Structure 1
Amino acid sequence: MKKLIVFMVITAFMPSILWAQKQHPKMYHLLIGTYTNDGSKGIYVYRFNGKTGKTKFEQSAKTSDPSFLAVSADQKYVYAVNESHHPSGDSVTAFKFNDRNGKLTYLNQLPTYGQDPCYVTVDRKNKNLFVANYSSGSLTAYSLKPNGSLGDTLQTIRHTGGSVDTSRQKTAHVHAVILSPDEKYLLADDLGTDKVYEYRYQPNQKQPLTPAAQPTVSVNAGNGPRHLVFSRDAKHAYLVQEMGAKITVFNYINNKLSAAQTVEMDNASFKGQNGAADIHLSPDGKFLYASNRGEANDLVVFKVNKASGKLSFVQRQSCLGKGPRNFAIDPSGDFLLVANQISNDIFTFKVNKTTGKLTQFGTKLEVSHPVCLKFVPMK
Structure 2
Amino acid sequence: MKKILFLALAVFACHPLYSQKTYAFFGSYNWDKETEGIYVYELDTIKGNLSKVTSFSGISNPSFLTLSPDGKYIFACTESKTKNGGSVSSFEFNRENKTLKFINRQKSGGENPVYLTAHRSGKWLVNGNYTEGSVSVYPISENGKIEAYIQNFQFTEGSINSGRQERAHIHSTVFSPDFNYLFLPDLGADKIRAYQFDNKKAQPLSEVEIPFSKTIPGSGPRHLSFHPNGKFAYCIEEMGGAVSVYSYKDGTLNNLQRINTHSEKYKNDFESSDVHISPDGKFLYASNRGNENNIAIFSIQNDGTLKTIGYQSVKGRHPRTFSLDPSGKFLITANTLTSNVTVFKRNAETGLLKKVGKNIKIKNVTNVQIRKY
Task: Classify the TM-score, shorter chain.
Answer: over 0.9
CA–CA separation in structure 2 for the residues paired with 1:166 and 1:352: 42
CA–CA separation in structure 2 for the residues paired with 1:376 and 1:198: 27
Is the 8 Å Cα contact of residues 83 and 110 (structure 2) preserved in structure 1? no
State the partner residue of 2:238: 242
Is the 8 Å Cα contact of residues 240 and 278 (structure 1) preserved in structure 2? yes
CA–CA separation in structure 2 for the residues paired with 1:225 and 1:280: 15
Is the 8 Å Cα contact of residues 30 and 36 (structure 2) preserved in structure 1? yes
Q: Identity of aligned pairs, percent? A: 36
State the partner residue of 1:21: none
CA–CA separation in structure 2 for the residues paired with 1:136 and 1:201: 22
Cα 1:168–1:50 change in 2 (3 A) is same
Q: What amino acid sits opposite 2:25 in the alignment?
A: L
Cα 1:48–1:101 change in 2 (3 A) is farther
SS in 1 for 2:147: strand
* Residue 257 in structure 1 maps to residue 257 in structure 2: no
Alignment partner of 2:225 out of 220, 224, 229: 229
Is the 8 Å Cα contact of residues 29 and 102 (structure 1) preserved in structure 2? no
SS in 1 for 2:149: strand
Please report how far the alpha carbon of residue 75 of structure 1 lies from its aligned counterpart in structure 2 after TM superposition: 1.0
State the partner residue of 1:103: 99
Please report how far the alpha carbon of residue 255 of structure 1 lies from its aligned counterpart in structure 2 after TM superposition: 2.2
Please report how far the alpha carbon of residue 363 of structure 1 lies from its aligned counterpart in structure 2 after TM superposition: 3.0
Please report how far the alpha carbon of residue 298 of structure 1 lies from its aligned counterpart in structure 2 after TM superposition: 0.8
Normalised TM-score (structure 2)? 0.92
Alignment partner of 1:75 out of 61, 71, 77: 71
* Residue 30 in structure 1 maps to residue 24 in structure 2: yes
Q: Which deviates more from structure 2 when the two are superposed, residues 76-85 or residues 219-228?
A: 76-85
Alignment map for 1:134-173 (pairs within 5 Å): 134-173=130-169
CA–CA separation in structure 2 for the residues paired with 1:160 and 1:83: 20
State the partner residue of 1:377: 372
* Residue 353 in structure 1 maps to residue 348 in structure 2: yes
Give the CA RMSD over aligned residues: 2.1
State the partner residue of 1:49: 44
State the partner residue of 1:280: 276
State the partner residue of 2:339: 344
State the partner residue of 2:266: 270
CA–CA separation in structure 2 for the residues paired with 1:84 and 1:102: 28
Cα 1:245–1:87 change in 2 (3 A) is same
Is the 8 Å Cα contact of residues 272 and 295 (structure 1) preserved in structure 2? no
CA–CA separation in structure 2 for the residues paired with 1:138 and 1:113: 8
CA–CA separation in structure 1 for the residues paired with 2:96 and 2:24: 12
Q: CA-to-partner distance for each residue in 1:313-340, whole Å, 9 max, x for gaps?
A: 1111111111000111111111111110
Please report how far the alpha carbon of residue 272 of structure 1 lies from its aligned counterpart in structure 2 after TM superposition: 4.8
Q: What amino acid sits opposite 2:318 in the alignment?
A: G
Q: CA-to-partner distance for each residue in 1:237-289, whole Å, 9 max, x for gaps?
A: 00000001100010002321000011001112213521100110011111000
**Gap runs ≥5 in structure 2:** 13-18
Alignment partner of 2:179 out of 172, 183, 199: 183
Is the 8 Å Cα contact of residues 297 and 323 (structure 1) preserved in structure 2? yes
Cα 1:265–1:322 change in 2 (3 A) is same
Please report how far the alpha carbon of residue 28 of structure 1 lies from its aligned counterpart in structure 2 after TM superposition: 1.1
CA–CA separation in structure 1 for the residues paired with 2:203 and 2:339: 40
Q: CA-to-partner distance for each residue in 1:99-139, whole Å, 9 max, x for gaps?
A: 34542111100001111000001101111111000000000
Normalised TM-score (structure 1)? 0.91
State the partner residue of 2:203: 207
Cα 1:221–1:127 change in 2 (3 A) is same
CA–CA separation in structure 1 for the residues paired with 2:224 and 2:159: 20
CA–CA separation in structure 2 for the residues paired with 1:298 and 1:40: 29
Q: CA-to-partner distance for each residue in 1:135-192, whole Å, 9 max, x for gaps?
A: 0000000111111101232100011200010000010000000111111111011000
CA–CA separation in structure 1 for the residues paired with 2:282 and 2:223: 19
Is the 8 Å Cα contact of residues 99 and 377 (structure 1) preserved in structure 2? no
State the partner residue of 2:310: 315
Alignment partner of 2:215 out of 216, 219, 231: 219
Please report how far the alpha carbon of residue 27 of structure 1 lies from its aligned counterpart in structure 2 after TM superposition: 2.8
CA–CA separation in structure 1 for the residues paired with 2:49 and 2:277: 22
Q: What amino acid sits opposite 1:153 in the alignment?
A: Y
CA–CA separation in structure 1 for the residues paired with 2:84 and 2:224: 29
State the partner residue of 2:88: 92
CA–CA separation in structure 2 for the residues paired with 1:71 and 1:300: 26
Is the 8 Å Cα contact of residues 75 and 99 (structure 1) preserved in structure 2? no
Q: What amino acid sits opposite 1:190 in the alignment?
A: D
Q: Which deviates more from structure 2 when the two are superposed, residues 99-108 or residues 275-284?
A: 99-108
SS in 1 for 2:172: strand
Is the 8 Å Cα contact of residues 131 and 139 (structure 1) preserved in structure 2? yes
Is the 8 Å Cα contact of residues 270 and 290 (structure 2) preserved in structure 1? yes
Please report how far the alpha carbon of residue 76 of structure 1 lies from its aligned counterpart in structure 2 after TM superposition: 1.1
Is the 8 Å Cα contact of residues 34 and 369 (structure 1) preserved in structure 2? yes
**Gap runs ≥5 in structure 1:** 1-6, 19-24
State the partner residue of 1:331: 326
4+ residue segments displaced more than 3 Å: 99-102
